[in-house]
């Protein structure tokens, strides 16, 4: 089966054939719908009944991101400055991690937060307690993630308007006091409201941050097992025999 982008029916680039890879983790109280959001984004489907998450803990999805770059060329000649807006497209692979139910007794492993680029904190708009706990999640994220991590806030289950306990305005106001949070959005995994948008906005922002920072990543020198580098690319290591 060739993988295809459901939006464009274009064949997805072969594995590893993408320009950027970002790691995103989902956190939030138990039963706020993290797995449903992930399922919806990944497969486009909604599964009504999830127990605690079993067997699946991360998903990969490659999306196409449009990036506007303003290029200023300082030419010599009659037109001293040329300004051009270049639209370029990038394949961005998002690796999205689910908590595997470890949040049930507030025992998420620290290693879950390592080396990630973005965090999505989810609360349930029909359950005030999940909103009240956001502060604790933000503290945990601050404690265990790098300082340049991007955080977005998602109020899930916005289809259940009748049972709403948290106003959107309230969430917006809270975000003003927490500078790390990029934006807040209400979603419904069930009715497919804003799910794709939330991931897309985060992905675009990650790309922008990546362009700005331009820092040599520590990551490039780390080893992931099972992916031994081909010998020609690391000339200093070869076998003795």
Sites of contact with other proteins (CB under 8 A): 1, 4, 6-9, 30-31, 39, 43-45, 47, 51-60, 100-102, 104-105, 107, 109-112, 114-115, 143, 218-219, 221-226, 228-229, 231, 234-241
What does DSSP say about strands 58-74 and 81-97: parallel, antiparallel, or unpaired? antiparallel
Q: Which is nearer to other proteins, 146 or 161 (CB)?
A: 146
Cβ count within 10 A of residue 203? 23
Q: Which is nearer to other proteins, 52 or 173 (CB)?
A: 52
Q: Which is nearer to other proteins, 23 or 207 (CB)?
A: 23
3/11 Cα distance (integer angstroms): 6
Cβ count within 10 A of residue 109? 11
Q: How far is the CB of 114 from other proteins (least distance, A)?
A: 6
Helix 195-213 vs helix 34-43: crossing angle, to nearest 10: 80
Q: How far is the CB of 161 from other proteins (least distance, A)?
A: 22
Q: How far is the CB of 168 from other proteins (least distance, A)?
A: 26
Q: Are 52 and 102 in contact, with CB atoms under 8 Å apart?
A: no
Q: How far is the CB of 79 from other proteins (least distance, A)?
A: 40
Q: How far is the CB of 191 from other proteins (least distance, A)?
A: 12
Cβ count within 10 A of residue 241? 3
User: Long-range contacts: 142-150, Cβ < 8 Å, 24+?
Assistant: 142/180, 144/110, 144/113, 144/114, 145/113, 145/116, 145/119, 146/115, 148/209, 148/213, 149/116, 149/117, 149/118, 149/119, 149/180, 150/117, 150/118, 150/119, 150/182, 150/202, 150/205, 150/206, 150/209
What does DSSP say about strands 150-156 and 58-74: parallel, antiparallel, or unpaired? unpaired
Q: How far is the CB of 3 from other proteins (least distance, A)?
A: 9
Q: Which is nearer to other proteins, 71 or 229 (CB)?
A: 229
Q: Which is nearer to other proteins, 79 or 241 (CB)?
A: 241
Q: Which is nearer to other proteins, 15 or 161 (CB)?
A: 15
Please list the residues that pair with 81 across neighbouring strands: 74
Q: Which is nearer to other proteins, 57 or 159 (CB)?
A: 57
Q: How far is the CB of 206 from other proteins (least distance, A)?
A: 19
């Amino acid at each position: 089966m060739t993988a295809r982008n459901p939006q464009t029916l274009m064949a997805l680039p072969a594995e590893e054939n993408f320009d950027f890879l970002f790691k995103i983790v989902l956190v939030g109280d138990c039963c706020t719908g993290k797995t449903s959001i992930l399922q919806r984004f990944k497969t486009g489907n909604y599964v009504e009944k999830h127990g605690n998450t079993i067997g699946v803990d991360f998903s990969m999805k490659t999306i196409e991101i449009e990036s506007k770059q303003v290029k200023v060329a300082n030419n010599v000649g009659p037109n001293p400055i040329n300004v051009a807006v270049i639209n370029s497209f990038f394949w961005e692979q998002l690796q999205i991690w689910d908590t595997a139910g470890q949040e049930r007794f507030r025992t998420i492993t620290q290693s879950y937060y390592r080396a990630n680029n973005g965090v999505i904190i989810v609360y349930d708009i029909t359950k005030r307690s999940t909103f009240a706990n956001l502060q604790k999640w933000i503290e945990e994220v601050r404690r265990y993630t790098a300082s340049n991590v991007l955080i977005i806030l998602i109020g899930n289950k916005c289809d259940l308007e009748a049972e709403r306990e948290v106003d959107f305005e309230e969430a917006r106001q809270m975000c003003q006091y927490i500078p790390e949070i990029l934006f807040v959005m209400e979603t419904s995994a069930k009715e497919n409201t804003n799910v794709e948008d939330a991931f897309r906005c985060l992905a675009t922002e990650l790309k922008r941050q990546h362009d700005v920072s331009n820092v040599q990543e520590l990551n490039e020198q780390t080893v992931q097992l099972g992916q031994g580098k081909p010998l020609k690319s690391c000339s200093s290591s070869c076998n003795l025999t």
